Amino acid sequence: MQVQALAKELHYEPNQTAIFFQQKKTFTIGIVLPELSEAFFSAAISGIEDTANKHNYMVLLGQSHDDESREKKIVEIMKNHRVDGLLVSITKNTADYSHFEMLKHYDIPVVFFDRIPNLTDIHYVACNMQSGTLQAVSLLLEQGHRVIGMINGPEKLIASQQRTSGYQQALQKRRLKFDASLVVSSDLTKEGTRVAMQQLLAHKRKVTAVVAFNDYVSQDAVQYALEQHLEINKDITFVSYANLPLSSYMAYPPIASVEQYPYQQGQKATEILLELLAAPDKTDTFHKITLDSRLVLAPGR
Amino acid sequence: MQVQALAKELHYEPNQTAIFFQQKKTFTIGIVLPELSEAFFSAAISGIEDTANKHNYMVLLGQSHDDESREKKIVEIMKNHRVDGLLVSITKNTADYSHFEMLKHYDIPVVFFDRIPNLTDIHYVACNMQSGTLQAVSLLLEQGHRVIGMINGPEKLIASQQRTSGYQQALQKRRLKFDASLVVSSDLTKEGTRVAMQQLLAHKRKVTAVVAFNDYVSQDAVQYALEQHLEINKDITFVSYANLPLSSYMAYPPIASVEQYPYQQGQKATEILLELLAAPDKTDTFHKITLDSRLVLAPGR
DNA sequence: AAAATTTACGCAACCGTTTGTGTTTACTTT
DNA sequence: AAAGTAAACACAAACGGTTGCGTAAATTTT
């Protein structure tokens, strides 16, 4: 009792690094994601940070810039910094998952979000693009469009497969048949998207609507269409994904956009990670959370 | 020599937390900034991260969301986590700087960037808005505009004062006289900007051009002008700040935007901080770096 | 008031490195 | 081959907490 008083008297403050060391715990979680400048990820971070801070955890940040080797390096450094756990959204190129497997030997749990690897024994939170795509294509069909192009992302991304699947499902519901040549791939660069759009416009059937991989792809495609002297929302209509806050300022925003709930994904992924950290033994049952995406009409539609 | 070999043999890996503890150094720097979703800050982070990683430092992130009490809390937690140093861009409301002063007792150096407090004994990197504003207003004057409105930010921000000063200077160079009622303030919310724009349009002289505080403000002002049935770039022309990457997709992008070099600011601030960490004794001379802002014409202008 | 119980505190050991000193071993020099 | 020098390693102390144990002090019980 007297020592407590004296401690206060002398403004004693414990040395956290000593505590971290002794407790083998740093109250830090690492975030590894591709690109902070994408609105989706900065929103996700807010969800992560808010949840982490609520439980007195801090977040260590690392951007992979969609470069696999950089992703590996960041994971390595974070491992060395002894983060308690990791939240990861993988690169669009990541094919080798050894740097994540390796973490198991160090008892560092990983929860993936949004861009998740194609593995079975992992924890993840993702947004199923199928439901949103189904709604998007259905909307276009209702409006009378019959030749609907899709600019998809890299084929190995699960999110790309889900988009294709949602597209097919919408057609199926109306007993329409699926034409695989209407689904083209973009590497998500401006140039890649322009090539993809060119393919669609060169299709033997006249494409009157396009489902674009995201709002950025949508805008690049719009730009290309304008250069080909097409009139947006008359000759050709766009629907996309992400629902960027800036879309209301855009010259030709998509008529609707599929919301992917970045904040919620970040929040949920963090909650799962914190749960794993609290009960380190029961790491054998895997959390696989899938939120449904949802189509949001542009204001005024 | 033999022990080295054996170490490799057994895959020995040093425990970083023990090293941190022993060395009284965590190789971590904290970043405190208002809002990641603003393109300016996510670009700044990239500059910070790249520089930090190059020197084997990691970054701890904290968003204040422009809330002073949250800023204080983040600084407190980061202090406890024993970051080696801090990079800070303050809240637009921060008036009390005690949470930063306090860090001196813990030998945690702070380098401010972009949004810097009005103190003399600090390190900072900022971008002088005066030069860019001078260029912006000069451009408008060259184009024949004589009644140029300015939607400025909160008056106590140094960046706002610099904008006003640049505006005045441009007029002075041409021997034109300054009309203070043409400079109005916005709190940077959509509503605040609309009110500001309303004031300008109600001015007794007909405003034909507007210098907006940033690209977001510019777009809100554009929206209001459209609602008033003004034709953009004919009845009224806009110039703004930030040079958002998305501006090329916007319906009515400003004809020019003042670049504030977020990546470079982040980079430079980090370099200074690392230098302070390397030479902890000579902390008495303060680094005050000011980059010049520069007007960038919209593509095709 | 004596015994039993609770609370407070002092003391060591430990976590895994770094640093410094001392000792041994190996290699050079003459 | 003896002496001198360099390299390699072993050992202890320290960083600042936590944990557990033993003892002293304060409190409660009978």
Q: Does residue A9 register a pLDDT over 70?
A: no
Total beta-carbon pairs less than 8 A apart between chain A and chain B: 115
List A258's β-bridge partners, or say none: A241, A295
Does the pLDDT of residue A78 top 70, yes or no? Answer: yes
H/E/C letters for each residue in B173-207? HCCCCCCHHHEEECCCCHHHHHHHHHHHHCCCCCC
Interface with A, mutate which of B17, B24, B108, B238 (most A CBs under 10 A): B17
> Tokens for A80?
């060395």
**Which nucleotide in the DNA or RNA is closest to residue A19, CA to C1'?**
D17
Q: pLDDT tens digits, residue range A254-296? A: 999 999 999 999 999 999 999 999 886 666 789 999 999 999 9
pLDDT attached to residue A7: 64
Residue B245: predicted pLDDT: 75
| Nearest residue to C7 via alpha carbon and C1' | A1
Cβ distance A60 to B58 less than 8 Å, yes or no, reads yes
Residue A77 above 80 pLDDT?
A: yes
Tokens representing B4?
Answer: 């080295």
Please tell me which residue of chain B has the smallest CA distance to A27.
B81
Average pLDDT on A139-154 reads 97
**Nucleotide closest to residue A1 (CA–C1'):** C8
List, in order of start, the domains of chain B with CATH numbers.
2-127+262-283 (3.40.50.2300), 129-259 (3.40.50.2300)
What is the arrangement of strands in the sheet containing B183-185, beginning at the earlier edge strand? Answer: B183-185, B148-152, B209-212, B237-241, B256-259, B294-297
Q: What is the pLDDT of residues B182-202, one digit of tens each?
A: 999 999 999 999 999 999 999
Q: How far is B88 from chain A (nearest CA, A)?
A: 16
Q: Band of the pLDDT at B250, cuts 50, 70, 90?
A: confident
Q: Does A232 touch chain B (CB under 8 A)?
A: no
Q: Which of the listed ranges A109-113, B13-17, B114-118, B153-157 does the model predict with the highest average pLDDT?
A: A109-113
The predicted pLDDT at position A109 comes to: 95
Report pLDDT digits (tens) over B198-234. 999 999 999 999 999 999 999 999 999 999 999 999 9
Cβ of A49 within 8 Å of Cβ of B63? The answer is: yes
State the pLDDT at residue B10: 72
What pLDDT does A287 receive? 96
- pLDDT for res A1: 63
> Predicted confidence band at A93 (pLDDT cuts at 50, 70, 90)?
confident
The H-assigned helical ranges of chain B are: 2-9, 16-23, 39-54, 68-80, 98-101, 129-142, 158-173, 190-201, 215-227, 262-278
Residue whose pair of structure tokens reads 């489902």 in the numeric block: A211
> For residue B231, what are its two tokens?
């034709």
Amino acid whose CA is nearest the C1' of D16: A18
Average pLDDT (A29-46) is 95
- Over residues B112-167, the pLDDT tens digits come to 999 999 899 999 999 999 999 999 999 999 999 999 999 999 988 889 999 999 99
Mean pLDDT score, B87-107: 93
In the structure encoding, which two tokens stand for residue B123, read together? 């390190």
Q: Within 10 Å of residue A155's Cβ, how many Cβ atoms?
A: 10
Confidence of residue B9 (pLDDT cuts 50, 70, 90): low
- Report the number of secondary-structure helices (H) and strands (E) in chain B: 10, 12
Contacts B46 to A, Cβ<8 Å: 36-37, 63
Q: Between these two residues, A29 and A246, which has the higher pLDDT value? A: A29
- The pLDDT score that the predictor gives to residue A280 is 66
Position B282 scores a pLDDT of: 65
- B291 has a pLDDT exceeding 80: yes
Chain A interface mutation, best of B46, B61, B193, B257, highest count of A Cβ atoms under 10 Å: B61
Residue with CA nearest C14 C1'?
Answer: A22
Query: pLDDT: is B255 or A5 the higher one?
Result: B255
Amino acid B48: pLDDT: 98
Sheet containing A209-212: order of strands: A183-185, A148-152, A209-212, A237-241, A256-259, A294-297
Task: Read off the pLDDT band of B257 (50, 70, 90).
Answer: very high
Distance in Å, residue B133 CA to nucleotide C27 C1': 72
Q: Kindly state the average pLDDT of the residues A58-67.
A: 96
How sure is the predictor about A3, in pLDDT bands with cuts at 50, 70 and 90?
low
Average pLDDT over residues B253-260: 95
Give the other-Cβ count within 10 Å of A111's Cβ: 26
- How far away is chain B from the Cα of A36, in angstroms, using its nearest Cα? 6
| Residue numbers in B near A28 (CB within 8 A) | 60, 81
pLDDT(B281) > 70: no
pLDDT, chain B, mean: 93
Helix (H, G, I), strand (E, B) or coil at B58: strand
What's the confidence (pLDDT) of residue B249? 84
Judged by CB atoms closer than 8 Å, whether chains meet at A62 and B49 is answered as yes
